[in-house]
Structure 1
């Protein structure tokens, strides 16, 4: 069983065949609606409870749940909950820390594959690629919380640099449908799910974003990513994989790009478009024979 706080993450877990997913959000008005799920958790006794993130909210839930064995980290009062809490390894990338609870000592040489449905290309991306044949498709996401992002003017300056590197590129701005931002690219896309987002980014030439969730989801889809780290440390939060470039930004008004890396990315062969659809007209009086149609 899985406990998580937000519905948009649910499509990522559909392939895991979980017995039950509990949506619990303890902040603000979410506390009242979470009470039935909290009571349901309390009624069950679990063999093991894994707490992969050392936060006060997660540790509060871990203390509430009844379990024979609870595994977590010694940060945020974890030593009061877990019998043998794992120490936080400050030098380890954040993505690998939770694996320590499973006894797995993973490192950057071991790729983490996110099983997302990106085998087929998204219709909106197919349409864009056909409208701009041979032109690089560069996606970017301007939203970032807690002061980690860039202002619209700073994004315009950064995009101007990218245009000098790839003059014929189409700049695709990804918007959060709940909080759309001013358009600074050529076109904008507002997608309804994280799986849709990954399906689109998988077919891009490049994806650019500050350190936020869409950056890491795009990186997992396989597209080369330019991550802009204005506050956080890429040693802990950088995109994993040799095809990505994690850039520490000290001056948001004058971002120094790695033009050699950008040149290699622009020369990289993008996934080919699927073949044009085949339309077969069916007679109202004749059943469709697939063998004859093929």
Structure 2
């Protein structure tokens, strides 16, 4: 992301400070500075608002959505997200009704007004703020006309919420922070160990299998397949030389695994002879990832998608805290700096050996 320079760099912190001061004044007058609980009739329609457009943040909504569906099994849960491409991943979850697309930044204000009118027409019983730092989320909650509103209390919470919790420690996992919202609602406490899940249908799984076999050829029954993704954003991305050393360490053993690289559309693999696969269909990608034995990636959306697909994940963290963004799933691990390629390869081998032993004993 380019750095802001010149006059704008001087004005920006002043504008942010002014916005915080105004927000805190509004909060003291009519907002929700402190946690609040109370009775809530079983809602028939629930709206969850998440204005962040990143794939990982969309996936980290899943434990909250699962918790709401478990607590209110007869409710229809709608979601507002930015970017309709992620909608299919949430649409497969139990209890999910419609996924509304938030207008892109710079879209005409009438697009936002049209969305708010549509939300008001649906008469939601409960609206949930899933991003405590988003002005857009607060506009949606204020405008949707829901009977009850759930979010995070605090000195900057300028909305009047009917149910609110204090934001947990900033060191706690992002998905666990969202799941903590449910403690403000009547009913049993949510699970303390959230997991991710997506549910590709049979035709999607068949397309993914075809794509994988086209990239790898025939796959021996006992030969592990390891997937990896190198294209994280910004400082999270590891250099190609690191991945080359990691590949070499994996091939140094007597029975090297099959490797498949997940590349963005139009991207090139890390090495000319590396088998690679690409798809723009995220549900198909989830089905493809579910077919692998282990997935290795820096902190990014595909890392969380692999965890949701139910396979062991080795997450590599160098610019973001693993405590907040670790992959959530069985046999997933997060490794922090220093990330030595040989050590990461050893962790990868240990996980696919365990996966293979489990399959043999099944």
> Do these two structures clear the TM 0.5 threshold for a shared fold by scoring above it?
yes
Report how far residue 74 of structure 1 moved: 2.8
Show the counterpart of 1:107: 192
- Residue 64 of structure 1 pairs with residue 143 of structure 2: yes
* Of 105, 120, 124, the match for 1:46: 124
- 1:288 — aligned with what? none
Q: String of CA shifts for 1:246-268, please: whole Å, max 9, x gaps.
A: 100246xx446255533322323
Name the residue aligned to 2:351.
Answer: 265
Deviation at 1:217, TM superposition (A): 1.0
2:44 maps to none
Residue aligning to 1:131: 218
Q: Secondary structure at the match of 1:246?
A: strand
Specify the SS of the correspondent of 2:260: strand
1:62-105 deviation per Cα after TM superposition (whole angstroms, max 9, x unaligned) = 22222221101136933534244311112432222222222334
1:77 to 142, 145, 156: 156
1:148: how far off?
Answer: 1.4
- Which structure's relative contact order is higher, taking Cα pairs within 8 Å and 6+ residues apart? 2
SS in structure 2 at match of 1:80: coil
2:111, 2:279 → 1: CA distance? Answer: 27
Higher fraction of helix: 2
Does 2:318 align with 1:240?
A: no
Candidates 231, 242, 251, aligned match of 1:154? 242
Counterparts of 2:223 and 2:251, CA distance in 1: 12
What is the alpha-carbon distance in structure 2 between the residues aligned to residue 225 and residue 77 of structure 1?
36
1:121-147 deviations in Å (ceiling 9; x for gaps): 622224456534254322111222243
Bigger mean CA offset, 183-192 vs 114-123: 114-123
Contact 1:118 1:221 in 2 (8 A): no
TM-score (norm 2): 0.64
Using the TM superposition, give the Cα deviation of residue 174 of structure 1 relative to its aligned residue in structure 2, in angstroms: 1.0
SS at the partner of 1:107? coil
1:1-294 equivalence runs, <5 A: 1-15=78-92, 16=94, 18-29=96-107, 33-56=111-134, 57-74=136-153, 77-90=156-169, 91-103=171-183, 104-108=189-193, 112-117=195-200, 120=205, 122-128=209-215, 130-133=217-220, 134-164=222-252, 168-177=256-265, 180-185=266-271, 186-250=274-338, 254-255=340-341, 257-258=343-344, 261-267=347-353, 268-269=355-356
TM-score for the superposition, normalised by structure 1: 0.77
Distance change in 2, residues 1:65/1:124 (3 Å): same
Q: Distance in 1 between matches of 2:321 and 2:154?
A: 19
Number of residue pairs matched by the alignment:
266
Instruction: Return closer, same or farther for 1:84/1:161 CA change in 2, 3 Å cut-off.
Output: same
Question: How far, CA to CA, are the matches of 1:190 and 1:259 in structure 2?
Answer: 23
Cα distance in structure 1, aligned partners of 2:352 and 2:254: 7
Q: How far apart, in 2, do the equivalents of 1:265 and 1:202 lie?
A: 15
1:66 is paired with a residue of what secondary structure?
coil
Runs of 4+ in 1 over 6 A off after TM superposition: none
**Alignment RMSD:** 3.0
User: How far is the alpha carbon of 1:2 from its aligned partner?
Assistant: 1.9
Q: Tell me the residue number matched to 1:285.
A: none
Shift of 1:188: 1.5
Give 5+ residue unaligned stretches, structure 2: 1-77, 184-188
Give SS of 2:232's match: coil
